[in-house]
Amino acid sequence: MNKLWKYIQFGYIIIAVILFIEGVLRFSDDKNKAYLYFGFSLFLVLIFFLKRFFRKKVDKRNQQNLR
């Protein structure tokens, strides 16, 4: 299951990139909506790094328990 989470977490990055591109495209029309997209994009990138940090921490703990 842990290998599955390793690949699922990259979905956060993919969605963040899509939202960032959407924000860039909408920036000239509606700045408030564009800032919202940028904010969600930044939030998803932070979630990606937090999940990766904790997954690596759990992997390290599991490696030590196997010894």
- The reported pLDDT for the residue numbered 3 is 75
Kindly give, in sequence order, each residue whose CB lies less than 8 Å from that of residue 41, ignoring residues fewer than 6 positions away: 16, 17, 19, 20, 23
Please give the pLDDT value at position 20.
97
| Mean of pLDDT values over 9-28 | 94
- Residue 16 CA, chain-centre distance (Å), reads 7
Q: What's the rounded mean pLDDT across residues 7-19?
A: 92
Contact 51, 9 (CB under 8 A): yes
- Residue type (1 letter), 32: N
Q: How far, in whole angstroms, is CA 34 from its chain's centroid?
A: 18
* Residue 2: per-residue pLDDT: 66
- Of the chain, the percentage scoring pLDDT greater than 90 comes to 61
